[in-house]
Amino acid sequence: MDMNALQSGNTALVTGGATGIGLAAAVRFAERGMKIVIADRREDLFASAEAILREAGAPNVMCSVVDVSDAATVANLERDVTAKFGGIDALMCNAGIQPGSDIFNQSDSWADVLAVNLGGIVSCCQAFVPGMIARGTPGVVINTGSKQGITTPPGDPAYNVSKAGVKVFTEALQHHLRGLESKITAHLLVPGFVFTDLTRHDRTEQPAGAWTPDQTAGFMMDRLASGDFYIICPDNDVDRATDDKRMAWAMGDIIENRPPLSRWHPDWGDAFEAYLKDGQA
């Protein structure tokens, strides 16, 4: 991908954009002179977000209260944005929740996580990408996934399932766009450990191992300029080489017919540690 979609005068829409990684990315777009649309459920954050974006250089900022899990509301947003700006050039589907889950929890947490984290991305792409294609101009779609959707560690299965779905959906979207020979490209953003409202919990200070949202957005922009589909972000604790080994081991469970999640299996833990150390199982 070249950066023609992310140029002055064009329009970027960011879901979950009122704070965190979404706002940091929107600032990067604003710095390029783009008009910004923020879609978020947290209306109380809009005034601050708009001020930050205008200070960064956005000539126009639109903030809209949107629950991305509601496809009808997303469709209304698409109509409103098209009426105001004529369409969008960049779509960043970043809205996500992580309330925690266990495998047999029958409360609404599973449904909510899947509806927001996966369903919201599907709905936004289905609502906005056809119009982006029809315009015939360069465009970019960035969907925020997670390393937990690739290595699927134990502890929060609903979140893992939702983010694994985002990976699969975004891969299918990029394949479809490639087949159309369109000027739109899709990309999967995979953050590392980032200190945001989603990961803050009861912490008041940024952990030493975490990146800031701005660091993550900066890395994203660099990798977009290089044309990467998989934007795998490091952090202060885990470098790319370690990420690569973790991902390769996870796929090796299938290839080698190991137990699922063998990295955490008592019979395989030592083998994984040896592999992590020297690259050989």
Q: Which helix (H) or strand (E) holds 38?
A: strand 35-40
209 vs 13: CA distance, rounded Å: 30
36 vs 63: CA distance, rounded Å: 8
Q: What token pair was written down for 92?
A: 């960043």
Q: Where are the beta strands (DSSP E) in the chain?
A: 11-15, 35-40, 61-65, 90-93, 139-144, 184-190, 230-232
Amino acid at 212: T
**Of residues 230, 276, 219, 281, the one with CA closest to residue 255:** 281
- 159, 219, 249, 272: which is the annotated catalytic residue? 159
Q: What token pair was written down for 106?
A: 């029958």
For CA atoms 24, 27, 28, 34, the dihedral sign is: positive
Amino acid at 195: F
Residue pair 6/90 in contact (Cβ under 8 Å)? The answer is yes
Q: Tell me, yes or no, if 230 is annotated catalytic.
A: no
Residues forming the active site? 159
